[in-house]
Structure 1
Amino acid sequence: MPYCQPMPHRDDTFAIKICGLSTPETLEAALAAGAEMIGLNFHPRSPRYVTPQRAAELAAPARGRTQIVALIVDYAPEQAAELARILRPDWLQLHGSEGPEQVAAIRRATGLPVMKALGIATAADLEQVAQHRSVADRLLLDAKPPKDAAYPGGHGRPFDWSLLAGLDPAFRFMLSGGLVPANVAEAVRITRPAGVDVSSGVESAPGVKDAGRIADFVKAARAAAAELKKAGQA
């Protein structure tokens, strides 16, 4: 049974997600910029980590104004269900080594839509898309972390976006990894994603979000998506 009624989401809407928010000021900056999603990070090794209780406080003013995403790493289904009870997010983002069965189990346990992050470095990594596409509500294609990384994610490094050229054009995914205000428009033009996700790319230091960079990122991503939409209708 669901622990909350998620905020409705439309799969045909280009979504911009600002992840790893940890202060009321920067969360408000993401809302003011018009981000469709805000992410709260629950991985203890991340510099963006927040406790469930702190996350619930941060999420309160955002509820109903944007979609709240809880980023978790290798949670058991019962852990995910408990976090869902406390935070009442709109989405769960699985950013660990969760296989298709674990994704499905967490989805059943929480009753929430699930976004599964897949690390991409080579064409071989795209084999994961077919394995997870049928069990996740959305896939996030992210840069594969360095082998010695203490936590998942792109660590501010983009992957080769041309690797995605062979994907099914009907496949709607979100893009992450090394995105910044200066390159997000190019990334959108090349990969044609359903949305983009940024964390370190809008920071002045690890874990410290910058309101100006958030605004610049959202503006650049939104303009690029609008250009693609206009070109598709021409």
Structure 2
Amino acid sequence: MPTQVKICGLTRAEDVETAQAAGADFLGFIVEVKSARRLSVAQAAALIKDVKVNTVAVTGDPSDQLVADIKAAGFSHIQLHGFETLARVAEIARTGLSVIKAVPVDSRDEVALATDYSGAADLILFDAKPPKGAPKDAPRGGHGLRFDWSILTGAALPKQWALAGGLTPDNVAQAIRHTNAPIVDVASGVETSPGIKDAALIKVFIARAKELDRNG
């Protein structure tokens, strides 16, 4: 079973087209949250007009109005990258959007705690934590950092989960072999600068992720 791929932090139509044509399964757009890749909902909506794969609005601690705007824009998924409680994740899930809950982890205990969200979220995204010393309001993802994949080994992982954090065309195959991740998520690893993707890197990343057969 090939691993699915999410290309995240897209800001340009040409990168959307490249990622979709290369076989990406999810396309991610960072909306209305602090990030060098930030878009408005309207800007992101314009980019997904002709997209045939899963579209993900990535945000953090969204208001009810923002959730409604994301749904109205036609996104299939919302990715929550903030400090959302389990109850808030469940509330957002009831809107009909598929929910991805991103959880930064660096220990086995945090992996175990993250799985608590699986009862409300459709998918748990395990990501690296922001750099040490980063301000509290710093973006919670897209730093190009990886965590120790071994903390996932032997863990009771949810049925649907994804791996993010420091993935690149050079290490994605190793990451999949080590973790058996069903989905891998990349942003900075296929960029020349924040939000500006490299077409060649996108194609290589997707090809290397999908050439492996996972167990299960």
TM-score by shorter chain over 0.5? yes
> Unaligned stretches of 5+ in structure 1?
1-11
Distance in 1 (CA, whole Å) between partners of 2:110 and 2:87 is 18
Q: Which residue does 2:78 correspond to in 1?
A: 92
Q: Which of these residues, 72, 85, 100, is aligned with residue 115 of structure 1?
A: 100
Give the residue type in structure 1 aligned to 2:54.
Q
- TM-score of the superposed pair, with normalisation by structure 1: 0.86
TM-score calculated relative to the size of structure 2: 0.92
Displacement after TM superposition at 1:76 (Å): 2.3
Correspondence 1:1-234 to 2 at 5 A? 14-62=3-51, 65-85=52-72, 87-108=73-94, 110-146=95-131, 147-149=133-135, 150-168=138-156, 171-224=159-212, 226=213, 228-229=214-215
Shift of 1:170: 6.6
Indicate how the Cα distance of structure 1 residues 165 and 154 shifts in structure 2: closer, same or farther if over 3 A, else same: farther
Q: Distance in 1 between matches of 2:182 and 2:164?
A: 11
Tell me the distance in 2 between the aligned counterparts of 1:159 and 1:203.
Answer: 20
* Whole-Å separation in 2 of the counterparts to 1:181 and 1:223: 12
5+ unaligned residues in a row in structure 2: which ranges? Answer: none
Q: How much identity, in percent, do the aligned residues show?
A: 39
CA distance in 2, matches of 1:79, 1:31: 26
Per-residue deviation at 1:167? 1.6
SS across alignment from 2:147: coil
Deviation at residue 79 of structure 1 after TM alignment:
2.3
- CA distance 1:189–1:43, change in 2 (3 Å): farther
Alpha-carbon distance between aligned partners in 2 of 1:181 and 1:48, rounded to the nearest angstrom? 20
Compute the displacement of 1:154 (Å). Answer: 4.9
CA displacement, residues 18-65 of structure 1 (integer Å, 9 cap, x when unaligned)? 001111111111011110110010144211111111111100021xx2
Aligned length: 213
Q: Which amino acid aligns with 1:92?
A: I
Structure 1: 4+ residue segments shifted above 6 A: none
| Residues 1:13 and 1:170: Cα distance change in structure 2 (over 3 Å) | farther
Encode CA deviations 1:52-91: one digit per residue, 9 max, x unaligned. 11111100021xx211111011112332112211x21111
CA RMSD of aligned residues (A): 1.7
State the structure with bigger RCO (CA 8 A, min sep 6), 1 or 2.
Answer: 2
- Structure with greater helix share of residues: 1
